A and B are shown apart, each in its own frame.
Chain A
Amino acid sequence: MENRNDYGVIEKKAEVRKKAANVITYALLILWAVIVLFPFYWMVLTSVKSYGAYNSEYIPKFYTLSPTFQNYVDAFTTVSLGRYLMNTAIFTVVTTAIMLVVITLAAFAFARLDFRGKNIVFVLFLSLMMIPNELVIITNFVTITDLNMRNTFQGLILPSVTSIFYIYLLKENFEQIPNSLYYAAKVDGTSDLKYLWKVMIPISKPTLITITILKVIECWNSYVWPRLITDDERYYLVSNGIQEIRENGFGRENIPAMMAAVVVISIPLIILFLIFRRKVMAGVARGGTKG
């Protein structure tokens, strides 16, 4: 009898402890979620406050009762936000497209073709992966300046169309495709390029999509190179555009309009992420760092 009671007490205690641990866990997780989400909430909130309302709030309010979309109109009319978005879209699409061609060809060569010096070249490629961008950007800046390609799309795009890491990733993927398929295609007289196009690319589609998404994120957020290479506002990408808006745009401290621009800049990638959530996270886990 006593014994049974003891078990009951122990069980109850364990349950209480488990519940307490659960509460603490959820509290911690919710706290971090709030810290992550709050800046997003604040930027959307500020972007729908009117200029007058925002500036008269000495103590900032957590809500607004009279939302306005005027700031979004201002963001597209007073400063060239539309142009920045367009430039960034062009830059992102062209860079990603060229890069996909370059890395696919290179990965195919490493994975499927035999040629002298292949292993040495591959090792050299891998060792280049350790070179930080900061070390080569100085000469690239001088090169592009000397080629008179400042303030052009070529100047923006050319240095970013190869990625050794993505070549490596794709090569690993290509190598998993059985050799027998390749020899069968050879017997049928299929050319290498056709084989690559008809067999390897379709099989490797998931990896290619992951690479594409990661590259798009990188392009959309790139700041340093575009800043060095463009000083003409007509070629600014969104990162430089927002910096320009902060320092010279909108006149005196029109923060609501600035936040409207920030919302517009942030939305495309957030939508992309929500659609391809699993792919993005798996891709980043496999080898992305921010920057």
Chain B
Amino acid sequence: MAGKRSEHNGAKGWLYLLPALLFLGAFMVYPLFDVFVYSFEEGYHSASQTYFGTGLYNYSYVLHDPYFLQAVKNTLILVVITVPLSTGIALLISVGLNSITPLRNLFQTIYFLPYVTNTLAVGLVFMILFQKTAYSDGLINLMITWFGGSAVDFIDGPYWAKMFVLCFYTIWVVMPFKILILTSALASVNQEYYNAAKVDGTSAFRTFMRITLPMISPMIFYLIITGFIGAFKAYSDVVALFGTNLNAAEMNTIVGYVYDMLYGDSGGYPSYASAAAILLFCIVLTITCINLLISKKNVHYS
């Protein structure tokens, strides 16, 4: 009887899982194998549906493509600048938020707004704020001239100006998540530790370094890891600022390179796109592992 019921249940369990299995199989498991197949089919093109051999040529092509190298450079700069900066500023703001009571909810609500906005749409606002056109220098340039600087075109101008806007916008976009995570981490630190420190007359700075920071270190590392992963996959915010022709703007990212290879004017090469995507995955995996190793040494898990 019992055996019969569980057998009956067995078929049923799979039945309930079936839709999820079908969708995941078709759009996740199969593509996962297929992407490796593509990456070894040398020079495969969607239009001709032919390739000239199997091997590592695609990888070598991608690694020698100046556009790819530019994309790697851009992505690395973006990662190195935005991840520490955004985490640091978010920590500062969260500590500030945690130390006040009036208006706290209001600030929290405001800070979260960028999370629920369309990256492409709001990117256009940043574009007009920073752009210098024939009609107007734009608002940011106006402010620069107030302080005695000279106007720069941040959207079509020099490389570092463009990189600056990109970093600025990226930080603006990722802050809500970081502030949210850090404020809840700070709020959950046991108040008794602070009371003990107060009794001992410990300075605020020392309390922060010796109590707060170690207690929230797991969350900081979580944010650094997700920040690295997110920044390596930067794409839509770049498109929002500089348009879809990113190679011409010298602002392409690795993910942008993958999509350019796949689709659009330079597209039709799933083989090169796959090789680039796998290279990206390897970079992200390596960095995540390094992060985890470092965090094992430095993070205090209570």
| Chain A CB within 10 Å, residue with most, of B35, B126, B284 | B35
Instruction: Give 1 or 0 for each of A1-32: 1 = CB within 8 Å of chain B CB.
Output: 00000000000000000000110011011001
Listed A/B pairs (12) with beta-carbon separation below 8 Å: A26-B100, A29-B107, A36-B175, A55-B135, A135-B31, A138-B35, A141-B263, A223-B120, A242-B121, A253-B135, A262-B122, A289-B230
Contact for B26 among A125, A143, A224, CB less than 8 A: A143
A57 at the interface (CB under 8 A from B): yes
Question: Is A269's CB under 8 angstroms from B118's CB?
Answer: yes
Say how far A35's CB is from chain B's closest CB, in angstroms: 7
Residues of B within 8 A of A228 (CB): 259, 262-263
Residues of A within 8 A of B258 (CB): 134, 138
Known: A128-B29, A139-B38. 9 other contacts (CB 8 A): A138-B31, A158-B23, A159-B27, A162-B20, A224-B259, A238-B121, A247-B243, A259-B124, A285-B180
Q: Which residue of A lies closest to B126 (CB)?
A: A39
Known A-B contacts A224-B235, A281-B112; A135 and B27 likewise in contact (beta carbons under 8 Å): no
Of residues 26 to 43 in B, which have CB atoms within 8 Å of A's CB atoms?
A: 26-32, 34-35, 38
Contact size range, A: 35 or more
Say how far A11's CB is from chain B's closest CB, in angstroms: 15
Say how far B96's CB is from chain A's closest CB, in angstroms: 4
**How many Å lie between the Cα of A26 and that of B278 in the bound state?**
46
Instruction: Give 1 or 0 for each of B235-252: 1 = CB within 8 Å of chain A CB.
Output: 110010001100000000
Question: Is B243's CB under 8 angstroms from A246's CB?
Answer: yes
**How many Å lie between the Cα of A167 and that of B16 in the bound state?**
12
**How many Å lie between the Cα of A266 and that of B31 in the bound state?**
33
**How many Å lie between the Cα of A196 and that of B131 in the bound state?**
55
Residues of A within 8 A of B128 (CB): 42, 46, 255, 259
Say how far B189's CB is from chain A's closest CB, in angstroms: 16
Question: Is B120's CB under 8 angstroms from A142's CB?
Answer: no
Contact segment of B51-59, B69-77, B137-145: B137-145
- A residues contacting B by CB (< 8 A) are 21-22, 25-26, 28-29, 32-33, 35-37, 39-40, 42-43, 46, 55, 57-60, 101-103, 105-106, 108-110, 113-116, 118, 121, 125, 128, 131-132, 134-143, 145, 158-159, 161-162, 164, 167, 192, 217, 220-221, 223-224, 227-228, 238-239, 242-243, 246-247, 253, 255, 258-259, 261-262, 265-266, 269-270, 272-274, 277, 280-281, 284-285, 288-291
Number of interface residues of B (CB under 8 A): 92
Instruction: Give 1 or 0 for each of B12-29: 1 = CB within 8 Å of chain A CB.
Output: 111011011001101111
Question: Is B114's CB under 8 angstroms from A36's CB?
Answer: yes
Say how far A238's CB is from chain B's closest CB, in angstroms: 6
Q: Which residue of A lies closest to B281 (CB)?
A: A135
Question: Is B110's CB under 8 angstroms from A272's CB?
Answer: no
Contact for B129 among A37, A39, A55, A109, CB less than 8 A: A39
Question: Is B19's CB under 8 angstroms from A135's CB?
Answer: no
B115 at the interface (CB under 8 A from A): yes
Say how far A198's CB is from chain B's closest CB, in angstroms: 16
**How many Å lie between the Cα of A227 and that of B108 in the bound state?**
33
Question: Is A269's CB under 8 angstroms from B117's CB?
Answer: yes
Of residues 226 to 278 in B, which have CB atoms within 8 Å of A's CB atoms?
A: 226, 229-230, 233, 235-236, 239, 243-244, 255, 258-259, 262-263, 270, 273-274, 277-278
Instruction: Give 1 or 0 for each of B159-171: 1 = CB within 8 Å of chain A CB.
Output: 0000000000000
**How many Å lie between the Cα of A105 and that of B34 in the bound state?**
28
Question: Is B136's CB under 8 angstroms from A58's CB?
Answer: yes
Say how far B97's CB is from chain A's closest CB, in angstroms: 7
B295 at the interface (CB under 8 A from A): no
Residues of B within 8 A of A105 (CB): 16-17, 19-20
Residues of B within 8 A of A125 (CB): 24
Question: Is B20's CB under 8 angstroms from A29's CB?
Answer: no
**How many Å lie between the Cα of A39 and that of B175 in the bound state?**
15
B119 at the interface (CB under 8 A from A): yes
Say how far B25's CB is from chain A's closest CB, in angstroms: 10
Contact for A36 among B6, B110, B244, CB less than 8 A: B110
Q: 5 closest A-B pairs (Cβ-Cβ)?
A: A115-B13, A139-B31, A136-B31, A109-B16, A106-B20
Question: Is B118's CB under 8 angstroms from A265's CB?
Answer: yes
B61 at the interface (CB under 8 A from A): no
Q: Which residue of B lies closest to A34 (CB)?
A: B110
Say how far B40's CB is from chain A's closest CB, in angstroms: 14
Question: Is A281's CB under 8 angstroms from B180's CB?
Answer: yes
B111 at the interface (CB under 8 A from A): yes
B46 at the interface (CB under 8 A from A): yes
Q: Which residue of A lies closest to B111 (CB)?
A: A36
